[in-house]
Structure 1
Amino acid sequence: MKLYLQILAFYLMSVAPTWAADVLLVQSYHKEYGWDESYIRGLESTLGDDVTLHTFEMDTKRLPRSQFDAQADKALALYQKISPEVVVLGDDNALSHMLPRLRNKDIDIVFLGINSNPRRLMAKYAGTARVTGVLERPLFARSMKEMSELLGKDQMKVKILFDAGTTATIATDHITNQYEDLKQQLGIDVTIENHRLFSSWKNSVEQSDDYDAIVVGLYQIIRNESDKVVDANKVLSWTNENSETPLFGFWDFSVGKGQTAGGVVLFGESQGIQAGKYVNRVLAGEEASEISVIHGKKGRAIYSATEFERWGLTPPTHWRNID
């Protein structure tokens, strides 16, 4: 019996990992940004206790584009220092700058929050690295349908506002393409704008009286006349205080008291959870390239009771109050 137990113990030790896995997350943005904070929470809640999550912030919402390559080089240096089992790339800038640097490494890559078509990059930078991940797409069609029903309008004019960053530009193209396909079916007149300057953003908000709704997309890299990034909270609070038109959002971090009133929104946490599940599968022995790229799970309809009361709106029963 003693010999049997020794053999069994040896076998269990041979098949169970006896080391902690290292995972490197390269963020396009920064940890204080609501989207990053949310998806990191999802990642951390999904990864096992034996996984150490290292992070690098490229900070591309606050730094000028001229510094993006230098930030990617720093991320690569950290990768070389850590030698992680898996690299997670958060959002489009991390993917577009890190995939060329990691393409010929013996590494599994899981991306999340990607608005662009990753297959183009994966084909362009084909190499040794194995890649999969989770796509992020603003829920345009469902959002417009829900807003139309909420506002009680068969015909509706909607203005959608974005900043002029990489992710915003890609999201704008995606929405524009959907709108062209669906505008007759939806019965909605949509104007989509990208703004670089806060002054331009303000003018657009103040000139929206003939619209039924404004959807606030991304607003994190709006700049002032001195070309400095305006604090995102200031952009959103100013918009809330000065808009004469009900405000809605595409992302959860824009909804709340003093912000937008609600919407069918994407949650960073759900993207982080799905990416975390993919990381776990890789650590269990699967190759990333054998795991299908998927769209993130559908968003949820949420609202701020305070903001709905301000605009005289009655929330549908399936919308969740977050106040």
Structure 2
Amino acid sequence: MEFDHHTLPAQRTTCRRLATCALLLFCASIGSESYAAKCLFVASYHRGYEWNDGIERGVDNTLKGRCELYKFFMDTKRNKGVAFAERKALEAKAYIEKIEPDVVIAADDNASKYLVKPYFKDARLPFVFCGINWTAQPYGYPYSNATGIIEVAPIRPLLKAIRQIVDQPGRGVYLSADVLTERKDYQRYRESYAKKGIVLQGVFAKTMQAWREQYIAAQAQEIDFIVLNNNSGINDWDSREAVRIAQRYNHVLTVTNYDWMMQYAMFAMTKLPEEQGEWAAQVALAILDGEPAASIPIITNRRWNIFANPQLLEKANIQLPAHLMHKAIKVASTQEIKEAKL
């Protein structure tokens, strides 16, 4: 039926109502199709931990508008006990059973250790893991329903840079928070550096006071460099105090693999947490499109950034080779680090 300006008012009103209803139904159908799939992001750690936040950003940016995204945070970085992790895993399992997601992204080691392996190995629900340190073997991957990306620190490139900055390095100290993943990282560093004739001593801190004492003690030793690996797990961490300590006592080369540690270190080659989240989310979308998880190979990260802290380098009278300084992002403060990552 056609309507013109001679159409009766009642007929025009009815037509408008029908058209409005049709439009609403059409929009609703588009919305339901856009979010027909449910995705769940399970983080081993907590919001506010920068590595965790970076993975989450990668997931958010990739899945935005592609599926209905739910999130669960296990908070096992601040709460290190096994009993706590097991309880949070059971809560996550109950949450999965409640929302019935179509695919789950499990970030970092504890999500795989306490949730995926015990309850969902070879299950129907597909999983994509990310942020697992060094190897997935402890969790028995691959499963028929899972694939993922492994997190590998650029140890060899960092060592190559250290040997370009320091003449014939023979001894170093690895200082980090006293948590399982950092001890795991230390073993990898120690073994890799030993192959090049370098002795690497590991020291670990549970508190800010312990970190302070160990940092000062390391700077007083006859060593060639210090690896400042991670502060996460030191629950009373004071970044302002750490900056003061680094500026006052720093004279030995300090390096790191984490960008947020660049306030206290001179040089870094850093992994990109966003890479982990982006890849996991892209694979989740492929699974939603019908690709079996088992058909997608497990990979390792392939990208990193280079940072330099000119202020600390100058205070210690240490010069980077020109090619490293040219490639490096120059930062000194938390704000500069955040801006460099944008």
Q: TM-score if structure 1 supplies the norm length?
A: 0.81
Residue 112 in 1 paired to residue 130 in 2? yes
Partner of residue 191 from structure 1, selected from 187, 201, 209: 201
Once residues 70 and 64 of structure 2 are traced to their aligned partners in structure 1, the CA distance between those partners, rounded to angstroms, is: 14
**Pairwise mapping of residues 192-211 of structure 1 onto structure 2 (< 5 A)?**
192-208=202-218, 209=220, 210-211=222-223
Once residues 243 and 42 of structure 1 are traced to their aligned partners in structure 2, the CA distance between those partners, rounded to angstroms, is: 37
**Pairwise mapping of residues 100-249 of structure 1 onto structure 2 (< 5 A)?**
100-103=118-121, 105-122=123-140, 130-151=145-166, 153-180=167-194, 182-184=195-197, 188-208=198-218, 209=220, 210-222=222-234, 229-231=235-237, 233=239, 236-237=242-243, 239-244=245-250, 245-249=252-256
Once residues 74 and 173 of structure 1 are traced to their aligned partners in structure 2, the CA distance between those partners, rounded to angstroms, is: 32
Aligned pair in 2 of structure 1 residues 150, 116: CA closer, same or farther (>3 Å)? closer
Aligned amino acid, residue 233 of structure 2: I
Q: For structure 1, which runs of at least 5 residues remain unmatched after alignment?
A: 1-12, 223-228
Q: Quick check: 1:202–1:239 contact (8 Å CA) kept in 2? A: yes
Residue 269 in 1 paired to residue 287 in 2? no
CA RMSD of aligned residues (A): 2.6
Residue 311 of structure 1 is matched in structure 2 by 316
Q: Quick check: 1:28–1:92 contact (8 Å CA) kept in 2? A: yes
**Pairwise mapping of residues 12-23 of structure 1 onto structure 2 (< 5 A)?**
19-23=35-39
Which shifted more, 208-217 or 235-244? 235-244
Once residues 312 and 97 of structure 1 are traced to their aligned partners in structure 2, the CA distance between those partners, rounded to angstroms, is: 47
Once residues 239 and 25 of structure 1 are traced to their aligned partners in structure 2, the CA distance between those partners, rounded to angstroms, is: 37
Aligned amino acid, residue 312 of structure 2: E
Once residues 310 and 175 of structure 1 are traced to their aligned partners in structure 2, the CA distance between those partners, rounded to angstroms, is: 27
Shift of 1:203: 2.6
**Pairwise mapping of residues 72-83 of structure 1 onto structure 2 (< 5 A)?**
72-83=89-100
Identity across the alignment (%): 22
Q: For structure 2, which runs of at least 5 residues remain unmatched after alignment?
A: 1-28, 337-342
Once residues 239 and 215 of structure 1 are traced to their aligned partners in structure 2, the CA distance between those partners, rounded to angstroms, is: 15
Residue 3 of structure 1 is matched in structure 2 by none
Residue 95 in 1 paired to residue 112 in 2? yes
Aligned pair in 2 of structure 1 residues 214, 120: CA closer, same or farther (>3 Å)? closer
- The secondary structure found in structure 2 opposite 1:78 is helix
Aligned pair in 2 of structure 1 residues 310, 38: CA closer, same or farther (>3 Å)? farther
Partner of residue 41 from structure 1, selected from 48, 51, 57: 57
Partner of residue 260 from structure 2, selected from 250, 253, 259: 253
Larger radius of gyration: 2
Once residues 244 and 92 of structure 2 are traced to their aligned partners in structure 1, the CA distance between those partners, rounded to angstroms, is: 35
Residue 54 in 1 paired to residue 66 in 2? no
Cα deviation, 1:124-146, whole Å, max 9, x if unaligned, reads: x96xx611111112221211111
Aligned pair in 2 of structure 1 residues 235, 42: CA closer, same or farther (>3 Å)? farther
Once residues 83 and 37 of structure 1 are traced to their aligned partners in structure 2, the CA distance between those partners, rounded to angstroms, is: 24
- The secondary structure found in structure 2 opposite 1:207 is helix
Residue 226 of structure 1 is matched in structure 2 by none
Aligned amino acid, residue 183 of structure 1: K
Residue 10 of structure 1 is matched in structure 2 by none
Once residues 119 and 252 of structure 1 are traced to their aligned partners in structure 2, the CA distance between those partners, rounded to angstroms, is: 27
Q: Quick check: 2:253–2:318 contact (8 Å CA) kept in 1? A: no
Q: TM-score if structure 2 supplies the norm length?
A: 0.77
Shift of 1:199: 4.1
Aligned pair in 2 of structure 1 residues 278, 239: CA closer, same or farther (>3 Å)? farther
Aligned amino acid, residue 272 of structure 2: F
Once residues 150 and 245 of structure 2 are traced to their aligned partners in structure 1, the CA distance between those partners, rounded to angstroms, is: 29
